[in-house]
A and B are shown apart, each in its own frame.
Chain A
Amino acid sequence: MLGSGLLQGLAVTAKNLAGSFHDPARYVTTEYPEQRTKLPENYRNFPFLVHDDPADPNGTLRCVACQICEKECPPQCIYIVMERDEKGKALRRPKVFDLDISVCISCQICVEVCPFDAIKMDQEYEIATRNRFGGLLLHREDLSKSNAYYHQIHPTEAAGVDAALAEQKAKQAAAKAAKAAPAPKAAATTATPATAATAQDSAISPAPAAPPPASAPDTPANPAPANPPPDA
């Protein structure tokens, strides 16, 4: 009969009108600034750099300025300059690490290609700024966040990363102990097996040729002890 479909539709809307007052499944609005949904652990938006010691956020960055992410970044929003001492020797840490998040597409490829677990995806989304040019260009100081913060936003992933780094360090220490006696010089060219080694990144690999002075057990990629005497 003409009109039965119309009445059926009216019944559905009436059900939803009534349901919005008592059925949570029919009242789905989250009133944002007051209420917030819990972000899933995997949520990503923009990258940040992990440092290990909150007391020295720029000195203990895991980043060694290898520029792999800069090369792989699809929209090319990363700009890195390595820090060098007076003699021009590379210090394996970034002097400049700029990331333009007005260009970044949050694709996470920098995270995937980083062999040092130095760059990770942040979950901070309230980043609106009044300065449309400078305000969205993040520098090394803005990007540097602690490992504890990383654990807080991506607990599972961060635990895995820490375990892998610890394992890698233990392996290196063992290899070092084995090799240290016969050929201390030869170790200078070994690269870590875990990194997909290209010619470029083996040159600046964190795999330290000499044993770190065992002073910083929780700073596996700290570049300071990675400058062993054989290089000099």
Chain B
Amino acid sequence: MSAHPANALPLLERLPVALRDACTSWLPESWRWLANSLLSIVAIFVVFATLFALLTLAERKILGRVQNRPGPNRAPLPFLGIRTYGLAQPLADGIKMLTKEDIVPRGADRVLHFLAPVALLAFSILTFAVIPYGRALLPVELDAAVLYFFAAGAATELAIFMAGWASRNKYSLLAAMRALAQLISYELPLLLSIVPVVLVAGSLSTSEIVEQQGTWLFGVFPQWHVFTPWGFAGFLIFFVAALAESNRSPFDLPEAESELIAGHLTEYSGFKYALFFMAEYFGMCALSGMGVTLFLGGWQAPIPALAFIPSYGWFAAKLLALLFVFMWIRATFPRLRIDQLTRLAWKFLVPLALVNLFTAAFWVLSSGWAGPLAFARWLVAGTLVLGPFLVLGRRLSAGLGPRTYRYA
């Protein structure tokens, strides 16, 4: 993680970097960069693996609470026998997954069947490299960080296709086909939704995009991108596309339980299954992290008075809030059908994202408007966002709607 040039940062802010430097200070100068990178990788992996474990529990707890039941709460701590509201559940799950038999179907392509979860996890970890977790915490400073992120993220669907194809199972094959259709459909709105951010920021570097959101209007109101008309629309499009990219409900078609048993996961068991699960959560975390970075001000505090809390704390809070929305949506919505899924992308999200590009361009051009013109600026931009949404939404849901019923 590149050290911030200013050494004047408060202690808490500097702490992770300072710790790392303390660990590697005994090495010769020429080796230090390698050790630093390796330490960063280990740190990221440990943090997000722990987060994954806690997220599986949190998801089940939230689903449970939404459904008026407690969720997992019985797994005791090992050797102690104390139930800690199910905190030991991920541990129990992990042990179960590790000790289960690893079954490979007889007709499966053994190499691909093994490679698919490994590739999936590898690709989803790659994306963590360019997310700025804090003021001084950016693993890799890349000029084209945003491009790198989405390139690495897009490869995960390929791994799902590998899994579906290699399993030699009809459900898996259907899931693989669905995954490809979903990838192609949703890569476009995902990318188009972030182009306005790049346009406004004038940079593909994630750290710069965050820095630019670090001002406050009237000293209290944060200037995050989501609080502009184009940013709001862009964030919603990004969020919907992120749901689809990470195969989360209501777009969990590849593993549609009620239709395809478990889709591409049908023939996986044991730790390979756990790897898929892990990759899904990693993908969800990475996309949420990117959403936070691009639209929600990254590690910036919401009001200046709260800036004393370290920046990575704010990043974590926003990330968790976004992840909660992922779970909330999963607890509420039914699943779309594959043709409706692609239709939503091509006929709704892509046009909206394209229009949003113009909205952002207008926003940039009109940045000098002040006084009553500022009001007009909001009005025009708002209309540019809301109008297409209403028109396209009406077209998308043509023929659908609540019905009235007659009685005999």
Direct contact of A and B (CB under 8 A): yes
Chain A residues with CB under 8 Å of B25's CB are: none
Most A Cβ at <10 Å: residue of B67, B328, B333, B389: B67
| Closest CB in chain B relative to A2 CB, distance in Å | 3
Chain A residues with CB under 8 Å of B69's CB are: 20, 27-29
B68 touching A3 by the CB < 8 A rule? no
Does A184 have its Cβ within 8 Å of any Cβ on chain B? no
A10, B332: Cα distance in complex, Å: 6
Does A13 have its Cβ within 8 Å of any Cβ on chain B? yes
Say which residue of A2, A27, A28 sits within 8 Å of B394 (CB atoms): A2
Q: Mark A1-41, 1 if CB is under 8 A from B, else 0.
A: 11100100110111011011100001111010000000000
Say which residue of A3, A10, A19, A28 sits within 8 Å of B328 (CB atoms): A10
Classify the interface of chain B: helix, strand, loop or mixed. Answer: helix
A2 touching B397 by the CB < 8 A rule? yes
A17, B331: Cα distance in complex, Å: 10
B390 touching A1 by the CB < 8 A rule? yes
Chain B residues with CB under 8 Å of A19's CB are: 68
A31, B83: Cα distance in complex, Å: 13
Report the nearest B residue to A6, measured CB to CB. Answer: B333
Given A1-B390, A9-B332, A9-B333, decide whether A16 and B396 contact each other with a Cβ distance below 8 A.
Answer: no
| Closest CB in chain B relative to A33 CB, distance in Å | 10
A14 touching B328 by the CB < 8 A rule? yes
Report the nearest B residue to A31, measured CB to CB. Answer: B70
Within 8 A of A (CB), among B69-120: 69-70
Given A10-B329, A14-B328, decide whether A29 and B390 contact each other with a Cβ distance below 8 A.
Answer: no
A27, B62: Cα distance in complex, Å: 13
A13 touching B66 by the CB < 8 A rule? yes
Q: Mark A121-157, 1 if CB is under 8 A from B, else 0.
A: 0000000000000000000000000000000000000
Chain A residues with CB under 8 Å of B393's CB are: 1-3
Does B4 have its Cβ within 8 Å of any Cβ on chain A? no
Chain A residues with CB under 8 Å of B70's CB are: 27, 29, 31
Chain B residues with CB under 8 Å of A26's CB are: 68
Report the nearest B residue to A28, measured CB to CB. Answer: B68
B328 touching A16 by the CB < 8 A rule? no
Chain A residues with CB under 8 Å of B329's CB are: 10
Report the nearest B residue to A20, measured CB to CB. Answer: B65
User: How many A-B residue contacts, CB cutoff 8 Å?
Assistant: 47
Say which residue of B328, B390, B394, B396 sits within 8 Å of A13 (CB atoms): B328
A106, B231: Cα distance in complex, Å: 65
| Closest CB in chain B relative to A6 CB, distance in Å | 7
A29, B332: Cα distance in complex, Å: 20
B68 touching A16 by the CB < 8 A rule? yes
Say which residue of B65, B333, B390, B394 sits within 8 Å of A21 (CB atoms): B65
Say which residue of A6, A9, A20 sits within 8 Å of B68 (CB atoms): A20
A20, B69: Cα distance in complex, Å: 7
Chain A residues with CB under 8 Å of B333's CB are: 6, 9
A21, B62: Cα distance in complex, Å: 11
A26, B69: Cα distance in complex, Å: 8
| Closest CB in chain B relative to A138 CB, distance in Å | 32
A2 touching B68 by the CB < 8 A rule? no
A17 touching B66 by the CB < 8 A rule? yes
| Closest CB in chain B relative to A73 CB, distance in Å | 39
Chain A residues with CB under 8 Å of B397's CB are: 2
A20, B61: Cα distance in complex, Å: 11
Given A1-B390, A2-B396, decide whether A13 and B332 contact each other with a Cβ distance below 8 A.
Answer: yes
Chain B residues with CB under 8 Å of A3's CB are: 393
A76, B65: Cα distance in complex, Å: 45
A17 touching B65 by the CB < 8 A rule? yes
Q: Mark A152-187, 1 if CB is under 8 A from B, else 0.
A: 000000000000000000000000000000000000
A1, B389: Cα distance in complex, Å: 9
A3, B386: Cα distance in complex, Å: 13
Chain B residues with CB under 8 Å of A21's CB are: 65
Chain B residues with CB under 8 Å of A17's CB are: 62, 65-66, 328, 331
Chain B residues with CB under 8 Å of A13's CB are: 66, 328, 331-332
| Closest CB in chain A relative to B387 CB, distance in Å | 12
Chain A residues with CB under 8 Å of B389's CB are: 2
A27, B390: Cα distance in complex, Å: 39
Report the nearest A residue to B250, measured CB to CB. Answer: A6
A189, B1: Cα distance in complex, Å: 103
Most B Cβ at <10 Å: residue of A12, A16, A21, A28: A16
B390 touching A16 by the CB < 8 A rule? no
Q: Mark B323-356, 1 if CB is under 8 A from A, else 0.
A: 0000011011100000000000000000000000
26 residue pairs of the A-B complex, CB under 8 angstroms, read A2-B389, A2-B390, A2-B393, A2-B396, A3-B393, A6-B332, A6-B333, A10-B332, A13-B66, A13-B328, A14-B328, A16-B65, A16-B66, A16-B68, A17-B62, A17-B328, A19-B68, A20-B66, A20-B68, A20-B69, A26-B68, A27-B70, A29-B68, A29-B69, A29-B70, A31-B70
11 further A-B pairs in the complex, CB-CB below 8 A; given A1-B390, A13-B328: A3-B393, A10-B329, A13-B66, A14-B328, A16-B67, A17-B62, A17-B65, A20-B65, A20-B68, A28-B68, A28-B69
Could you list which residues of chain B lie within 8 angstroms of chain A, going by C-beta atoms? 62, 65-70, 328-329, 331-333, 389-390, 393-394, 396-397
- Pairs A-B, 3 closest by C-beta atoms: A2-B393, A20-B65, A13-B332
Could you list which residues of chain A lie within 8 angstroms of chain B, going by C-beta atoms? 1-3, 6, 9-10, 12-14, 16-17, 19-21, 26-29, 31
